[in-house]
């Protein structure tokens, strides 16, 4: 009887491993094509007789074709690993050209055979390359021009430099680079060669320039494949689910962000909201709706990820959500941190543990600050506009942050049940009023079922007294009964349990080392400060998890999450500009990100 492992070996590679094998082979063959087109010494000697019969232009064109095909195969390798159908079609069309280049210029039957074997494998496994395109933007054309232009310049200089024998004279590096630049645009440069090498170098440089222009034009003018967005019907259905089941998850209301897509269960009783970032299909929080219908929505989510060959991941789901996700999909889960939740009935400023918060609040109140806590629907339009303008002006960065725990707007029409807490201080005698009157700080809370709210945004005037965030949180908790609130979800603290256990007496060296690393990283990411800020209010901690497919996906998921939250941007940098203290008068766009501040920032 043949053991199972031996049977797997006899059957050959697993079908799911084929795209990885094909992508790796495509990379190797692409490098071989580029090297054979650049370095003349790579040519063998068996077919020199054939080469003498062929016209010289064919050999020169074959060298340029070999380089261009090699670069294109390198660009397609990642798409083949992700099962992209268009990458498969392009590779099938390019490989025969690469074979011709191998035979006509390099005279290498071995390289041609490798390309033909890869072509045969692609044709045989064509059913495994089914993935649809990713969402894309015009910025990819600019990035392609910059990156591929730099690569073409480097390869062009290498092409010029590796033909020193037939080169006339000893041109300097500056002259060689000038020759490359002229050659990329299809003109002759200052460097001359003997023995017909001019044609080989000229065609190769021209091919690189044409490749850069052609791929940039294709990316710029290809049909758009937009990112999924919530439609009006999607939003209506999600609000109906939240009305019935919104009290189960404090992050449920954040599913109504405009930049999220959604998939519903077959019954329509549950939904999963997501965003695609760098090939990662990133869901946030638990599914929306009836827990019994979650498996249907999760299955639709996984089908969508498989159709596009996206990496599925979930950020910030609860323990119940983590159990359902792992049970239905076979994915793994890792504790990401804890959410701070304060039960209003248990909150008090009395006691030694609340001494620091109590003293800070009393000091600020003595300085003349007053607070107001109201539903957004109860604000006058003029006051709401001032708050919107202030929130925009008080943002620390040009990039709005937030995804999992941020709504991205302050809107009385869509989100009238949200709660606004504001801090005010009238100007003293002789003091000029600020651009927003007496408003000095604000906080925005979104609904969490019929009796809860979840902190979404914290902004304050940098000239206000320290402690504005503590003041407004305490004011919200004390006024919660007036607005019908029984529980308040505060910030999310990443790796809270590791920080808490690592500072206890008797903690082991591994735990202390892990805590030390987190404290060190807190210089750039608000990890320890968020934990300490949340702990001031004596909350109960609810763990949150990240759900992922395998360990090697974690770095990619982490980068995608940082992009979604606004901590990492792969867009081209913009020229710095000074933001005015207040936007111009008139109706302004509401803020579109998470709570952004220097020391307290909600991180998912």
Mean pLDDT to the nearest integer, 29-53 = 59
Strand pairing class (280-284; 311-317): parallel
Contact (CB, 8 A) for 249 and 277: no
Q: pLDDT per residue over 172-190, tens digit each?
A: 878 778 888 888 887 777 7
Show Cβ contacts of residue 54 under 8 Å, excluding neighbours closer than 6 positions.
104
Q: pLDDT per residue over 85-111, tens digit each?
A: 888 888 888 888 877 766 766 556 766
Low-confidence winner among 62-66, 325-329, 337-341, 540-544 (lowest mean pLDDT)? 62-66
In degrees, rounded to 5, the angle at the alpha carbon of residue 185 between the alpha carbons of residues 179 and 189 is 25
Contact (CB, 8 A) for 580 and 305: no
Q: What burial class does residue 577 get, using C-beta atoms within 10 Å of its C-beta: 0-12 exposed, 13-18 middle, 19+ buried?
A: exposed
Q: What burial class does residue 346 get, using C-beta atoms within 10 Å of its C-beta: 0-12 exposed, 13-18 middle, 19+ buried?
A: exposed
Q: Tell me the pLDDT band of 219, cut-offs 50, 70 and 90.
A: confident
**Cβ atoms within 10 A of the Cβ of 78, count?**
14
Show Cβ contacts of residue 551 under 8 Å, excluding neighbours closer than 6 positions.
332
Which pair of tokens denotes residue 96?
């025969």
Mean pLDDT to the nearest integer, 528-555 = 89
Give the count of alpha carbons within 13 A of 183, CB side only: 31
Tell me the C-alpha distance between 402 and 601, whole Å.
10
Which pair of tokens denotes residue 35?
């090297």
The dihedral of CA 541, 453, 414, 372: what is its sign? negative
Contact (CB, 8 A) for 331 and 325: yes
Q: Is 48 helix (H, G, I), strand (E, B) or coil?
A: helix
Crossing angle of helices 197-221/56-81, nearest 10°?
30
Q: Is 311 helix (H, G, I), strand (E, B) or coil?
A: strand
Q: pLDDT per residue over 415-443, tens digit each?
A: 999 999 999 988 876 677 778 888 999 99
Contact (CB, 8 A) for 316 and 604: yes
User: At which residue do the structure tokens 């549950």 appear?
Assistant: 270
Which pair of tokens denotes residue 284?
């946030």
Show Cβ contacts of residue 149 under 8 Å, excluding neighbours closer than 6 positions.
212
Residue 574 predicted with pLDDT over 50:
no
Q: Tell me the pLDDT band of 13, cut-offs 50, 70 and 90.
A: very low
Show Cβ contacts of residue 405 under 8 Å, excluding neighbours closer than 6 positions.
251, 254, 284, 316, 454, 456, 492, 594, 602, 604
Which pair of tokens denotes residue 313?
């991941």
Which pair of tokens denotes residue 405?
């725990």
Q: pLDDT per residue over 502-532, tens digit each?
A: 777 677 787 778 777 877 777 776 777 888 8
Give Dmax (Cα) for the chain.
Answer: 98
Q: What burial class does residue 420 get, using C-beta atoms within 10 Å of its C-beta: 0-12 exposed, 13-18 middle, 19+ buried?
A: buried
Which pair of tokens denotes residue 199?
């044609």
Show Cβ contacts of residue 430 under 8 Å, excluding neighbours closer than 6 positions.
none
Residue 284 predicted with pLDDT over 70:
yes
Residue 77 predicted with pLDDT over 80:
yes
**Considering only CA atoms, which of 504, 472, 33, 560 is closest in space to residue 282?**
560
| Residues counted in the chain | 604
Residue 204 predicted with pLDDT over 60:
yes
Tell me the C-alpha distance between 405 and 397, whole Å.
18
Q: pLDDT per residue over 349-382, tens digit each?
A: 998 889 999 999 999 999 999 999 999 999 999 9
Q: Tell me the pLDDT band of 453, cut-offs 50, 70 and 90.
A: very high
pTM for the model stands at: 0.72
User: At which residue do the structure tokens 């050959």 appear?
Assistant: 12
**Considering only CA atoms, which of 449, 531, 461 is closest in space to residue 490?**
531
Tell me the C-alpha distance between 438 and 464, whole Å.
11
Residue 448 predicted with pLDDT over 90:
yes
**Considering only CA atoms, which of 427, 428, 410 is closest in space to residue 419?**
410
Q: Tell me the pLDDT band of 394, cut-offs 50, 70 and 90.
A: confident
**3-state per-residue secondary structure call for 158-205:** HHHHCCCCCECCCCCHHHHHHHHHHHHCCCCCCCCECCCHHHHHHHHH
**Considering only CA atoms, which of 406, 356, 387 is closest in space to residue 538?**
356
């Amino acid at each position: 009887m043949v053991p199972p492992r031996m049977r797997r070996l006899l059957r050959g590679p697993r079908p799911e491993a084929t795209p990885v094998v094909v992508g790796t082979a495509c990379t190797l063959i692409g490098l071989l094509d580029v090297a054979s087109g650049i370095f003349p010494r790579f040519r063998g000697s068996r077919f020199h007789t054939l080469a003498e019969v062929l016209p010289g232009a064919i050999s020169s064109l074959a060298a340029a074709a070999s380089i261009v095909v090699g670069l294109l195969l390198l660009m397609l390798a990642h798409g083949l690993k992700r099962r992209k159908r268009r990458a498969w079609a392009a590779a099938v069309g390019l490989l025969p050209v690469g074979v011709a280049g191998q035979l006509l210029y390099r005279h290498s039957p071995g390289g041609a055979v490798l390309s033909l074997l890869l072509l045969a494998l692609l044709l045989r496994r064509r059913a495994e390359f089914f993935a649809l395109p990713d969402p894309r933007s015009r910025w990819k054309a600019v990035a392609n021009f910059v990156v591929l232009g730099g690569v073409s310049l480097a390869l062009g200089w290498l092409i010029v430099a590796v033909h020193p024998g037939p080169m006339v004279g000893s041109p300097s590096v500056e002259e060689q680079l000038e020759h490359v630049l002229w050659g990329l645009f299809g003109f002759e440069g200052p460097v001359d060669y003997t023995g017909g090498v001019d044609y080989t170098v000229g065609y190769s440089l021209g091919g690189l320039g044409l490749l850069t222009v052609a791929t940039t034009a294709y990316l710029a003018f290809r049909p758009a494949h937009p990112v999924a967005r919530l439609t009006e019907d999607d939003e209506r259905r999600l609000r109906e689910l939240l009305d019935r089941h919104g009290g189960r998850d404090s992050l449920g209301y954040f599913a109504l962000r405009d930049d999220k897509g959604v998939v519903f269960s077959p019954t329509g009783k549950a939904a999963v909201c997501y965003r695609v970032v760098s090939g990662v299909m990133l869901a946030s929080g638990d599914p929306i709706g009836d827990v019994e219908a979650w498996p249907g929505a999760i299955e639709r989510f996984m089908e969508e990820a498989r159709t596009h060959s996206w990496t599925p991941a979930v950020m910030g789901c609860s323990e119940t959500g983590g159990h359902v996700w792992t049970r239905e999909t076979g994915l793994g889960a890792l504790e990401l941190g804890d959410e701070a939740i304060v039960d209003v009935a248990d909150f008090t400023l009395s006691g030694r543990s609340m001494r620091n918060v109590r003293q800070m609040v009393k000091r600020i109140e003595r300085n003349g600050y007053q607070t107001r806590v109201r539903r957004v629907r109860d604000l006058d339009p003029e006051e709401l506009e001032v708050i919107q303008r202030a929130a925009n002006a008080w943002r620390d960065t040009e990039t709005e942050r937030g995804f999992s725990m941020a709504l991205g707007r302050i809107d009385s029409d869509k989100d009238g049940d949200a709660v606004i807490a504001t801090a005010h201080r009238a100007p003293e005698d002789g003091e000029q009023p600020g651009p927003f009157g007496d408003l000095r700080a604000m906080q925005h809370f979104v609904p969490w079922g019929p009796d809860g709210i979840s902190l979404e945004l914290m902004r304050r005037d940098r000239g206000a007294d320290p402690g504005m965030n503590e003041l407004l949180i305490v004011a919200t908790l004390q006024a919660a009964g007036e607005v019908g609130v029984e529980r308040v979800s505060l910030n999310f603290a990443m790796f809270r349990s590791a920080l808490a256990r690592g500072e206890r007496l008797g903690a082991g060296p591994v735990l202390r080392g892990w805590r030390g690393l987190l404290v060190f990283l807190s210089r750039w990411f608000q990890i320890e400060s968020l934990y300490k800020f949340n702990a001031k209010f004596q909350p109960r901690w609810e763990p949150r998890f990240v759900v992922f497919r395998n360990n090697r996906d974690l770095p990619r998921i982490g980068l995608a999450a940082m992009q979604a939250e606004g901590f990492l941007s792969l867009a081209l940098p913009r020229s710095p500009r000074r933001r005015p203290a207040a936007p111009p008068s008139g109706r302004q766009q509401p803020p579109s990100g998470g709570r952004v501040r220097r020391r307290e920032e909600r991180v998912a």
